[in-house]
């Protein structure tokens, strides 16, 4: 599961689950988003407000909390997430099974040079002890870290007194999950404030994908920071951006209809997400 050579982010509206009354079904839908992000190696998920006259902080927080919980390795969840009502149905979330969600839980099954995510358990005079999901913590020598901080480490010594050093995601060749952020500004401002060199908006009113496939492939080849945006259950990106007195073509490089001649009246956000990322993934193999 090699990581991408570019940064891929997706933008989803805070009203993603506003049309679903029960938390269980909301959780299931958000789980589909997280699973798609992991399958297609998305690096970032941005939740943006799309209803200016509605306080969407609660919905945005729910989406971000569940997505972040999914992305956290199972052995760290109890330590990093307190009991929250938003996570009542977390048990139905699908596992990601990404490289940073390893199954081995014994030191004897690990290898020197292996990377693991962990949480700072305690401090000693020799450094920081980090829980990496095995029977004993590893020591990061000569380093004092805040308690319960999530870190990525590289194992340098195993046995009874395992040791590790801090690692950065840049040095890891495998896909290492996504990061979730909640935007305080709507989509148009979000795009203008972020240094994306390619913004792809999805809409049933956009240009059919087959008509822009070659041009889009050329843009993908030379882009390093890519954003793919999706509409809401009750309104598409055209309507969302119009609330800012903007036109979608002013804030995106491409507005694409990924599913032309769709057989249903509407395509749900999570359905559009799978379809879009699957097609872009195929194009990426020809980069």
- DSSP for 207-246 reads EEHHHHHHHHHHHHHH-SEEEEE---SS--HHHHHHTTT-
pLDDT confidence bin for 94, thresholds 50/70/90: very high
Predicted TM-score (pTM) of the model is: 0.94
Q: What is the mean pLDDT of residues 125-133?
A: 96
Average pLDDT over residues 260-281: 91
How much is the pLDDT for 243?
Answer: 93
Q: Are strands 127-131 and 115-124 parallel, antiparallel or unpaired?
A: antiparallel
Q: Provide the β-strand partners of residue 233.
A: none
Question: In this predicted structure, what is the pLDDT of residue 285?
Answer: 53
Measured CA to CA, the distance from residue 143 to residue 200 in angstroms comes to 42
| Per-residue pLDDT band at 287 (split at 50, 70, 90) | very low
Tell whether the model's pLDDT for residue 232 goes beyond 80.
yes
What domains, with CATH codes, occur in the chain?
7-97+186-284 (3.40.1280.10), 107-169 (2.40.50.140)
């Amino acid at each position: 599961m090699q990581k991408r050579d570019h940064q891929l982010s997706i933008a989803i509206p805070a009203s993603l689950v506003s049309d679903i009354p029960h938390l269980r079904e909301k959780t299931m839908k958000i789980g589909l988003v997280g699973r798609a992000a992991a399958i297609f190696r998305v690096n970032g998920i941005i939740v943006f407000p799309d209803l200016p006259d509605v306080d969407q902080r609660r919905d945005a927080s729910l989406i971000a909390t569940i997505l972040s919980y999914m992305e956290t390795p199972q052995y760290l969840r109890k330590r990093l997430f307190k009991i929250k009502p938003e996570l009542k149905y977390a048990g139905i979330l699908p596992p990601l099974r990404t490289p940073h969600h390893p199954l081995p839980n014994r030191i004897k099954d690990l290898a020197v040079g292996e990377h693991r995510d962990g949480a700072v358990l305690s401090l000693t005079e020799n450094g920081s002890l980090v829980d990496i999901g095995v029977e004993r913590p590893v020591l990061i020598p000569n380093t004092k870290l805040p308690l319960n901080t999530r870190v990525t480490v590289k194992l340098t010594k195993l046995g009874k007194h395992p040791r590790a050093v801090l690692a950065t995601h840049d040095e890891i060749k495998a896909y290492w999950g996504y990061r979730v952020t909640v935007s305080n500004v709507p989509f148009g401002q979000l795009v203008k404030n972020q240094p994306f060199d390619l913004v792809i908006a999805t809409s049933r009113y956009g240009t059919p994908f087959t008509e822009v496939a070659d041009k889009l492939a050329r843009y993908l080849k030379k882009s390093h920071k890519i954003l793919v945006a999706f509409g809401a259950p009750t309104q598409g990106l055209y309507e969302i951006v119009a609330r800012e007195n903007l036109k979608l073509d002013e804030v995106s490089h491409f507005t694409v209809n990924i599913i032309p001649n769709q057989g249903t009246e509407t395509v749900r956000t999570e359905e559009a997400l799978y379809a879009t990322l699957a097609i872009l993934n195929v194009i990426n193999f020809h980069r």
